[in-house]
Amino acid sequence: MLSSLLGFIVGLTLGLTGAGGGILAVPALVLGVGLSMTTAAPIALIAVGLAALTGAIDGLRRRMVRYKAALLMSIVGGVISPLGVWLAQRLPELWLMVLFSLVMFIVAGRMFNQARHTQKSGLSPHDSRAKACMVSDNSGKFVWTMPCFLTIGSIGAVSGLLTGLLGVGGGFIIVPMLKRFTNLKMHSIVATSLMVIALISAVTVINALTSHVALPPVTWPFVSFVVGGMIAGRIVAPKIPATFIQMGFASLCALSACIVLLNAFNIL
């Protein structure tokens, strides 16, 4: 029952923000269900990957996904993610938990500052200032220059490494970075992030399962409720201002970081 409730909350967060699913799924499984980080990581990826695929299909139907950028990030991230898996299998559990919490604190701070700046300045979430990757007003697609190609590829590389290392989908990196380096609207960023998460998670899950990682019985109830939460999140997301979504996600990340960090020190 607890794992189902936690799964629904994880899926709802993923549907609303395009991020946060994996970064919340791992501590939910570790602290709520009592699994280890290495056991929780592939379960989180299966759940988040399937839920993200559901959201990405919805985004494609609404023509909000920038699929070329998503494919580039996914290819680069898929190549890099096995390196993260290799590192995760060789690092102590305590180090993984501390690293995980630090990453969440950094992401929470960045997302909150971006949302607060938007509120104070009165800027629209769709900022038209010149950035590394600009969407053409005529075609609605990215204008592909070398700086744009390198920027999108680098986001994919960092996302893939953290996906393999920490068992997260990478959306918590993709969403703030796309917001910072592109002029995409927030709902398009969310849809594009979901497609990347689905593709990178699939590669990482296959790699983990071929490494003979055993899945406990709690896996499939948790996965099904994450997918259900995703569907609910995608339904209500258009009705909520993007700034509120960012602030809510930042608060959840900070709270999860505190819980994981305290639990890590209890191991000592």
Q: Which three-class secondary structure string do you get for the chain?
A: CHHHHHHHHHHHHHHHHCCCHHHHHHHHHHHHHCCCHHHHHHHHHHHHHHHHHHHHHHHHHCCCCCHHHHHHHHHHHHHHHHHHHHHHCCCCHHHHHHHHHHHHHHHHHHHHHHHHHHHHHCCCCCCCCCCCECECCCCCCECCCHHHHHHHHHHHHHHHHHHHHHCCCCHHHHHHHHHHHECCCHHHHHHHHHHHHHHHHHHHHHHHHHCCCCCCCCHHHHHHHHHHHHHHHHHHHHHCCHHHHHHHHHHHHHHHHHHHHHHHHHCC
Please check the confidence at residue 255 and state whether its pLDDT lies above 50: yes
Residue 135: φ, ψ to 5°: -90, 130
Please check the confidence at residue 120 and state whether its pLDDT lies above 60: yes
Q: Work out whether the CA dihedral 166, 169, 170, 175 comes out positive or negative.
A: negative
User: What proportion of the chain, given as a percentage, has pLDDT over 70?
Assistant: 87
**pLDDT value for 153:** 94
The arithmetic mean of pLDDT across residues 215-236, rounded, is 85
The arithmetic mean of pLDDT across residues 227-231, rounded, is 89
Q: 159: how many CB neighbours lie within 10 A of its CB?
A: 29
Note down the domain range covering 22.
2-266
Residue 230 to residue 217: CA distance in whole angstroms: 22
**pLDDT value for 22:** 66
Please check the confidence at residue 141 and state whether its pLDDT lies above 60: yes
Please check the confidence at residue 149 and state whether its pLDDT lies above 90: yes
Structure tokens at 266: 């209890």
Which one, of 136, 138, 114, lies nearest residue 124 by Cα? 114
69 — pLDDT class (breaks 50, 70, 90): very high
The arithmetic mean of pLDDT across residues 158-182, rounded, is 79
Please check the confidence at residue 127 and state whether its pLDDT lies above 60: no
Please check the confidence at residue 257 and state whether its pLDDT lies above 90: no
169 — pLDDT class (breaks 50, 70, 90): low
Which one, of 147, 126, 222, 172, lies nearest residue 14 by Cα? 172
Please check the confidence at residue 268 and state whether its pLDDT lies above 50: no
Q: Does the model's pTM come out above 0.85?
A: no
The arithmetic mean of pLDDT across residues 22-29, rounded, is 76
Q: What angle is formed at CA 106 by the lines to CA 101 and CA 111, rounded to 5 degrees?
A: 125
Residue 40 to residue 33: CA distance in whole angstroms: 9
**pLDDT value for 150:** 95
Residue written as tokens 């999140």? 233
Q: 50-54, 73-77, 118-122: lowest mean pLDDT where?
A: 118-122
pLDDT higher at 258 or 72: 72
Q: What is the mean pLDDT of the chain?
A: 80
pLDDT higher at 249 or 144: 144
Residue 129 to residue 73: CA distance in whole angstroms: 23
Residue 239 to residue 41: CA distance in whole angstroms: 32
**pLDDT value for 72:** 95
**pLDDT value for 24:** 76
Model pLDDT for residues 3-19, shown as the tens digit of each residue: 788 889 888 888 887 76
Please check the confidence at residue 260 and state whether its pLDDT lies above 80: no
Please check the confidence at residue 216 and state whether its pLDDT lies above 80: no
Please check the confidence at residue 57 and state whether its pLDDT lies above 80: yes
Q: Structurally, how many domains does the chain consist of?
A: 1
